[in-house]
């Protein structure tokens, strides 16, 4: 059975590119433009990895992750993307290190970089 990836991305065109690349790789993909819609998808679907933009309309990606981690026993792994927040910044890394299954990818990125990050998040040991 292939892994299920939930994309939480408010840029529709980027979500489409990411979804097509993941589907070609054999992943099952769900898409949501906001944390609120992602919450509904998570309630009704088992998800292995959430790929979330940090900056979203309404609830942001980090707050969404904190909510999921507190309500679920560990919850799915998370891979964050952002073009507005430096994911290599120490404050972001400190938050990510509190959860051993959180990774990040700085925008802009290539499809190859995106696929490598997803593959690594799903196949490697939990890592901050």
Question: Does 30 reside within a domain?
Answer: yes
**Residue 127: its pLDDT value, please?**
44
pLDDT digits (tens, 9 = 90+) for 84-105: 766 666 666 676 667 666 788 8
SS3 of 85-96: CCCCCHHHHHHH
Count of residues in the chain = 128
Instruction: Answer left, alpha or beta for residue 8, where phi above 0 means left and psi between -120 and 50 means alpha.
Output: beta
- Residue 22: give its domain's CATH number: 3.40.50.2300
- Domain that residue 47 falls in: 4-120
Question: Does 106 reside within a domain?
Answer: yes
Question: Does 59 reside within a domain?
Answer: yes
Q: What is the mean pLDDT of residues 57-78?
A: 76
Q: Tokens at residue 81, please? A: 């993307």
Question: Does 43 reside within a domain?
Answer: yes
How far is the CA of 123 from the CAs of 55, 58, 126, in angstroms? 26, 31, 9
Q: What is the mean pLDDT of residues 103-124?
A: 91
**Residue 54: its pLDDT value, please?**
86
**Residue 62: its pLDDT value, please?**
76
Q: Tokens at residue 98, please? A: 């509190």
Element (H, E) at 5: strand 4-8
**Residue 63: its pLDDT value, please?**
77
Question: Does 128 reside within a domain?
Answer: no
Question: Does 127 reside within a domain?
Answer: no
| Residue 111 pLDDT greater than 50, yes or no | yes
pLDDT digits (tens, 9 = 90+) for 13-67: 999 999 999 999 999 999 999 999 999 999 999 999 999 988 888 887 777 787 7
């Amino acid at each position: 059975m292939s892994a299920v990836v939930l994309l939480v991305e408010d840029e529709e065109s980027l979500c489409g590119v990411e979804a097509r690349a993941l589907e070609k790789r054999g992943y099952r993909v769900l898409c949501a433009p906001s944390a609120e819609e992602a919450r509904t998808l998570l309630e009704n679907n088992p998800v292995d990895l959430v790929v979330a933009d940090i900056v979203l309309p309404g609830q942001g990606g980090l707050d969404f992750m904190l909510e999921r981690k507190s309500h679920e026993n560990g919850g799915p792994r998370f891979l964050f993307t952002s073009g507005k927040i430096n994911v290599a910044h120490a404050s972001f890394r400190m938050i990510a290190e509190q959860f051993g299954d959180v990774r990040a990818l700085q925008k802009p990125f290539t499809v190859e970089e995106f696929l490598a990050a997803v593959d690594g998040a799903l196949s490697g040991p939990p890592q901050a």
